[in-house]
């Protein structure tokens, strides 16, 4: 599905003046005139390097979503002094940040950690059983779902859902170039038979859904839906565009103002996108040097991250790379859901792919000067239980398996003004709970909005016309350097 959102006449924080009047009129919806003026003032360009509290320091967002819940203790928050049934099988490895270790299965990450911030105190207490679907929905939208079954499963996606934050950003910050604003790849968010929950524009409508590129970029990618049909040549399409422009020019001003909010706006943007060929070119990984493709890793995850960089470079605002396995898939194939066996799959399958792709992305963005404008967030929906062989979510776990654990886990952020070479927060001696500076996942979303120059408290009307904040959380200002 191809949808090209975006509305003209936006203010600095991404909202059109008409929208500001609509949501803030007479303060009826809780947004005062002073707040509006403050939001607009904060969006003004600040001198280079002087972005206040990190606000507006980023232009783009790459969301590396490790769906399935990777084990924080066995990747980036090792506990070598913990008891045997907690510390796991892996040795620690020093990183470029003095005194900070990861595990031995992440040697490449250790070399680039000085360009990132590790957040070792991500934490939340779920309502009811904390299986994947509800946790994914919260991570994507910033809201908890209304209906959760006893198993933790949710109903399929619907237009009453809260929008994915990428859809919100695509609406508030449409690309300046004719380019896909929000791309999700290489597979959908999924647990069991619930596919795509939290991965749509929800009540914003289909026009703000991501462009779903559910193909393996390690193979040849088809971009037929981004091309002209063979029976329609480019000249014919350009003549149609010219005719549309003439009609627009002849419209009375009031009619033109109304048409700016009609579907033809999206038709026009879709036409521009197809004619420009920017997206088709971005999807062509054959243009990349063989050595760089090898560095990212010749696997689905690595090539997806390389594609994410190319899409951002071509003008996309948000790209989300989902770990290419279902949340509760078979860990001996490629899923992080390591109830039955934690250490073999991590050592032989998951971590080698994570450790080639993620460090390569960070280094590649940094070497191109893109990291200063691109905020990167790599995280799962939760971590894994410190104690092995115990049940925390109603699942069965082997003696070497770890269950779901939302009470304390790790995320990684980089770019867009985020501090370099830092560790934020601290877990306790067993990685069970935060010892310092707990961070709720919704606060991470608020931080991303903040970095992109969007006030997280910005209001948007839902499908019932009720005003809702982008996310009900404050950004973690201390994460910015």
pLDDT digits (tens, 9 = 90+) for 6-35: 433 344 444 443 344 334 333 333 333 344
How many CB atoms are located within 10 Å of the residue 191 CB?
25
Q: Which residues contact 261 (CB under 8 A, 6 or more apart)?
A: 7
Q: Which residues contact 393 (CB under 8 A, 6 or more apart)?
A: 129, 130, 131, 152, 403, 404
d(Cα 147, Cα 160) in Å, to the nearest integer? Answer: 12
User: 3-class DSSP state for residue 418?
Assistant: strand
d(Cα 128, Cα 42) in Å, to the nearest integer? Answer: 39
Residue 325's domain comprises 52-221+283-449+458-479
Domain count of the chain?
1
Q: Is residue 362 part of a domain?
A: yes
Does residue 104 have a pLDDT over 50? yes
d(Cα 76, Cα 62) in Å, to the nearest integer? Answer: 20
The model carries a pTM of 0.83
Q: Which of 443, 428, 441, 449 is nearest to 474 (CA)?
A: 443
Q: Is residue 212 part of a domain?
A: yes
Which residue intervals of 106-231 are DSSP H helices? 107-112, 132-141, 165-172
Does residue 458 have a pLDDT over 70? yes
- Which H or E run contains 468? strand 467-469
Instruction: Tell me what pLDDT residue 148 has.
Output: 66
Round the average pLDDT of the chain to a whole number and report it.
Answer: 84
Range in 27-36, 91-100, 412-421 the model is least confident about: 27-36
Q: How far is CA 90 from the centre of its chain?
A: 29
Q: Is residue 255 part of a domain?
A: no
Q: Is residue 175 part of a domain?
A: yes
Q: Is 478 or 3 the better-scoring residue by pLDDT?
A: 478
Q: Is residue 9 part of a domain?
A: no
Q: Which of 212, 134, 190 is nearest to 327 (CA)?
A: 190
- The answer to whether 71 and 410 have CB atoms below 8 angstroms apart is no
- Residue 407's CATH number: 3.40.720.10
Backbone phi and psi for residue 422, each to the nearest 5 degrees, phi listed first: -125, 155
Q: Is residue 88 part of a domain?
A: yes
Range in 109-123, 167-181, 431-445 the model is least confident about: 167-181
How many CB atoms are located within 10 Å of the residue 82 CB?
18
Does residue 44 have a pLDDT over 50? no
Q: Is residue 233 part of a domain?
A: no
Which contacts of 263-266 are long-range, i.e. CB under 8 A and separated by 24 or more positions?
263/207, 265/6, 265/7, 265/8, 266/3, 266/4, 266/5, 266/207
User: 3-class DSSP state for residue 411?
Assistant: strand
- Which H or E run contains 378? strand 374-379
- The answer to whether 375 and 434 have CB atoms below 8 angstroms apart is no
Using CB atoms within 10 Å of the CB of residue 290, give its burial: 0 to 12 exposed, 13 to 18 middle, 19+ buried.
exposed
pLDDT digits (tens, 9 = 90+) for 272-282: 666 567 888 99
Using CB atoms within 10 Å of the CB of residue 449, give its burial: 0 to 12 exposed, 13 to 18 middle, 19+ buried.
buried
Q: Is residue 184 part of a domain?
A: yes
């Amino acid at each position: 599905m191809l949808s090209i959102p975006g509305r003209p006449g936006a203010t600095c924080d991404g909202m059109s003046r008409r929208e500001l009047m609509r949501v803030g009129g007479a303060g009826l919806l809780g947004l005062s005139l002073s707040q509006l003026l403050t939001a607009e003032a904060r969006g003004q360009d600040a001198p280079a390097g002087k972005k206040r509290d990190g606000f507006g320091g980023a232009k783009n967002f790459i969301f590396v979503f490790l769906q399935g819940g990777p084990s924080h203790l066995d990747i980036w928050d090792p506990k070598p002094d913990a008891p045997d049934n907690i510390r796991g099988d892996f040795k620690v490895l020093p990183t470029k940040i003095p005194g900070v270790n990861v595990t031995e299965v992440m040697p490449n990450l250790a070399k680039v950690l000085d360009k990132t911030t590790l957040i070792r105190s991500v934490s939340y207490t779920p309502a009811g059983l904390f299986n994947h679907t509800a946790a994914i929905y919260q991570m994507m939208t910033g809201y908890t779902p209304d209906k959760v079954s006893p198993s933790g499963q949710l109903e399929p996606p619907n237009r009453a859902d809260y929008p994915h934050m990428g859809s919100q950003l695509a609406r508030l910050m449409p690309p300046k170039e004719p380019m896909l604003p929000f791309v999700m790849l290489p597979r959908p968010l999924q647990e069991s038979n619930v596919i795509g929950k939290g991965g749509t524009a929800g009540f914003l409508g289909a026009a703000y859904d991501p462009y779903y590129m559910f193909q393996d970029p390690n193979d040849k990618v088809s971009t037929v839906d981004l091309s002209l049909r063979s029976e329609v040549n480019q000249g014919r399409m350009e003549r149609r565009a010219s005719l549309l422009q003439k009609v627009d020019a002849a419209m009375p001003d009031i009619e033109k103002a109304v048409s700016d909010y009609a579907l033809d706006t999206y038709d026009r943007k879709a036409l521009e996108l197809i004619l420009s060929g920017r997206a088709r070119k971005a999807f062509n990984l054959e243009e990349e040097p063989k050595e760089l493709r090898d560095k990212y890793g010749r696997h689905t995850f690595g090539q997806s991250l390389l594609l994410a960089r190319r899409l951002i470079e071509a003008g996309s605002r948000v790209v989300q790379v989902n770990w290419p396995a279902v949340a509760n898939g078979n860990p001996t194939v490629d899923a992080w859901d390591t109830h039955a066996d934690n250490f073999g799959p991590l050592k032989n399958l998951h971590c080698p792919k994570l450790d080639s792709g993620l460090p390569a992305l960070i280094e590649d963005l940094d070497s191109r000067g893109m990291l200063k404008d691109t905020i990167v967030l790599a995280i799962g929906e939760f971590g894994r239980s410190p104690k092995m062989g115990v049940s925390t979510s109603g699942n069965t776990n082997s003696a070497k398996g770890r269950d779901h654990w939302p009470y304390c886990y790790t995320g990684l952020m980089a770019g867009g003004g985020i501090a370099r070479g830092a560790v934020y927060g601290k877990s306790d001696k067993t990685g069970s709970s935060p010892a310092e500076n707990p961070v709720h996942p919704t606060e991470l979303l608020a931080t991303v909005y903040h970095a992109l120059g969007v006030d997280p408290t910005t209001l948007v009307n839902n499908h019932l016309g009720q005003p809702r904040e982008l996310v009900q959380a404050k950004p973690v200002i201390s994460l910015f350097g």
